[in-house]
Amino acid sequence: MRVLVLGGTTEASALAKLLADDKRFSTTLSLAGRTSNPRPQPLATRIGGFGGVEGLVPWLRDEKVDAVIDATHPYAAQMSANAAAACNQTGIPLGSIVRPPWRRQEEDSWRIVPTAEAAAAALGKTPLRVFLSLGRQDLHAFASAPQHRYLARTIEAPEQAALPPNIRILQARGPFDRDSEAKLLSDEEIDVIVSKNSGGSATYAKIEAARELDLPVIMIARPDKPAGHVLHSPEEAVAWLHDRAPGSLRGV
């Protein structure tokens, strides 16, 4: 059974490990190429986009793919939309690993906004020290609010030309723990955090630290993201694939 896994997340890496030694599957892991030095994976890996639905459909047919697992980031809405459309056109089953979002606790002070641009506007006019923890792709949105001082944590340095004038880049890869996050926020005298609601445990410590320090969080809401058959874990994805593999008593 030939499987395409759309990856770039911890769930995708965990799924890759589960499928690597499973002889029932010939799996390709696809990464968008947002990170120039991704972690090594135990599967055949392709880097870069497909060229939209128009490129993905013939690729799936040429490679004789039997099933697709969408294990992309909760904010990778375009890739998920392309996968859903391509699988619909080809009749290939699509399973989507959906990571639960973080839930606001009673002690949390969140302001939910729809976009990074809205987050920049929500900071207000009074100069603040802002911790940006939303990846490098959206940092340019804060150039519209140059009065603030920014600390942005990213895996790799941003490539955009238009960035806020007072921004410092901290390159680091999670997971992070609450004590170190609280120390970072305190040492940097952060007034407010801007974050995406990525879910999962790798970066949740900053939310716990904000709660502990009584810091407000401007939370960028998740986009609408098309999904196939909803899966809740890599293990559930493997079981779903097994049900569709040739010879399965429950295969369809």
**Mean pLDDT, residues 116-136:** 96
Q: Verify that 89 and 26 share a domain, yes or no.
A: yes
Q: Verify that 36 and 20 share a domain, yes or no.
A: yes
Does the residue 105 lie in any domain? no
pLDDT of residue 105: 96
Q: Verify that 166 and 239 share a domain, yes or no.
A: no
Q: Verify that 187 and 236 share a domain, yes or no.
A: no
Range of the domain at 42: 2-100+224-244
Token pair, residue 8, equals: 């770039």
Q: Verify that 56 and 141 share a domain, yes or no.
A: no
Other Cβ atoms closer than 10 A to 187: 8
**Mean pLDDT, residues 184-210:** 96
Q: Verify that 215 and 239 share a domain, yes or no.
A: no
More confident residue, 245 or 217: 217
Percent of all residues in the chain with a pLDDT value above 70, rounded to a whole number: 94
Does the residue 252 lie in any domain? no
Spatial CA neighbour of 25 closest among 252, 245, 236: 245
252 pLDDT higher than 60: no
With b for 16 or more beta-carbon neighbours within 10 A and e for fewer, the 37-61 pattern comes to ebeebebebeeeebeebeebbebbe
**How many domains does the structure of the chain reveal?**
2
pLDDT of residue 99: 93
Query: Where is average pLDDT lowest: 37-51, 109-123, 167-181?
Result: 37-51
pLDDT of residue 35: 63
pLDDT digits (tens, 9 = 90+) for 46-72: 998 899 999 999 999 999 999 999 999
Q: Verify that 71 and 22 share a domain, yes or no.
A: yes
- As a 3-state breakdown, the chain gives helix, strand, coil percent values, each rounded to 5, of 30, 20, 45
| Residue carrying structure tokens 């969140």 | 110
pLDDT of residue 164: 94
Q: Verify that 127 and 60 share a domain, yes or no.
A: no
Does the residue 250 lie in any domain? no
Q: Verify that 55 and 96 share a domain, yes or no.
A: yes
> How far is Cα 51 from Cα 66, in angstroms, rounded to an integer?
20
251 pLDDT higher than 90: no
Does the residue 251 lie in any domain? no
Query: pTM for the full model?
Result: 0.87
**Mean pLDDT, residues 81-102:** 97
Spatial CA neighbour of 76 closest among 229, 227, 204, 235: 227
